[in-house]
Structure 1
């Protein structure tokens, strides 16, 4: 007597699946599409500002800008500097629809966040992707921050609310603008969706790169003014210079 049905077709065995590293094209030695050698050589963000994650020469310091005026967000969590090859991976994901690169970085960011949660970092109530303008969304066809937030939500088991934040003004591109110009550019550029529950919640903004922090500051101030308890920023990379392209 056989309790299992007979099946003579090929059987997929997950443990024998061989991933190919997206950086060196060699077989990966992990479940990720990235080998351990290439992962070790990524531009990991070391010593940084304890608030905005700006790269600094020593750890446990706060940068001059944050000392002068604390931003509305509590902290920025970013695993990498915006440097090669992370800058290339982000650009290919963002501008050339190479979604496997984005998914790989989201998986690595989720691992990094799990590690930080184990160290005592508080988990947010939900993830909020930074919204794109309608014009740029039509041009690109997708919101890279929205895709990152969905992938992070799956790995971290966190809710994602992609429609809570609205981009109400189609502002000019931020590329090449300094910090003050970016702030003026974003004045009243965002709004909350009607009847949105924000008061008392711990929220985390999700984006690909943090440059001057002007976008994160504008959104965090909007959420704090609406009663949010805390706003963090999760992103893939942090630039060392405010003039780095978005």
Structure 2
């Protein structure tokens, strides 16, 4: 007795399907849609500040600004510096709705985080994407930080909450501003959503790029004041310029 229906047509074996690299379009057998040569050419962040991830000449150091004025967040985890071709990939994801590129970068970030967790980095209780102002969200149609947080949540099995934080002031664009102007720009810009509770939790703020750290610092101060036990920052890239917070 045959329990399965007979089928004489060709069978599609999806396990043998080869992906194509999103950067060079060559076939790749890697788990992600990027070939090994292109992945190796990404601007990987090597030696950096143990706190804010600012690129430094040697490993195991803390930058002068973090020593002088320790930030409210505990540590920044970031795999790349904001240089070509990564800057182009993030721009296309962020401003041109090329979401497969964002998904690829999010999966590679999740892979880097898993390695750090295996080496002793504490796992957070909750992922919180940097919120966008309502007007800007309507204009763009999506929040790239929220998309990254949700992809990380799926890969790392850590819950993400894109409604915990709110941007209550539509601040000026941060690009082109120095560190002091960024801090002024972000004063009173964020708030916890009504009913949100973070007391005693280890939180990770998720964003695409860390420049001066002004946004991360503002959010971390808010969360620590609300009772969070620890705040880390996860992002795709760190700018190499030694700008003061």
Q: TM-score range by the shorter chain?
A: over 0.9
- Paired residue secondary structure (1:76): strand
Q: In 2, distance between residues paired with 1:186 and 1:2?
A: 68
Contact 1:22 / 1:33 at 8 angstroms: preserved in 2?
yes
- Residue pairs, 1:202-241, within 5 angstroms: 202-241=202-241
Offset of residue 17 of structure 1:
1.1
Q: In 1, distance between residues paired with 2:69 and 2:108?
A: 31
Match of 1:16 in 2: 16
The reply to whether residue 79 of structure 1 matches residue 79 of structure 2 is yes
Match of 1:55 in 2: 55
Match of 2:107 in 1: 107
Contact 2:54 / 2:63 at 8 angstroms: preserved in 1?
yes
Match of 1:185 in 2: 185
Unaligned stretches of 5+ residues in structure 2:
none
Deviations 1:202-232 (A, max 9, x none): 0000000000000000000000000000000
Q: In 1, distance between residues paired with 2:92 and 2:13?
A: 31
Question: Which deviates more from structure 2 when the two are superposed, residues 190-199 or residues 45-54?
Answer: 190-199
- Residue pairs, 1:59-138, within 5 angstroms: 59-138=59-138
Deviations 1:136-179 (A, max 9, x none): 11111100000001111000011010000000000111111111
Q: In 2, distance between residues paired with 1:10 and 1:165?
A: 51
Deviations 1:5-40 (A, max 9, x none): 334455332321111111111111312110011111
Q: TM-score, normalised by structure 2?
A: 0.96
Unaligned stretches of 5+ residues in structure 1:
none
Q: In 2, distance between residues paired with 1:7 and 1:180?
A: 69
- Paired residue secondary structure (1:159): coil
What is the aligned residue count?
Answer: 243
Offset of residue 3 of structure 1:
2.3
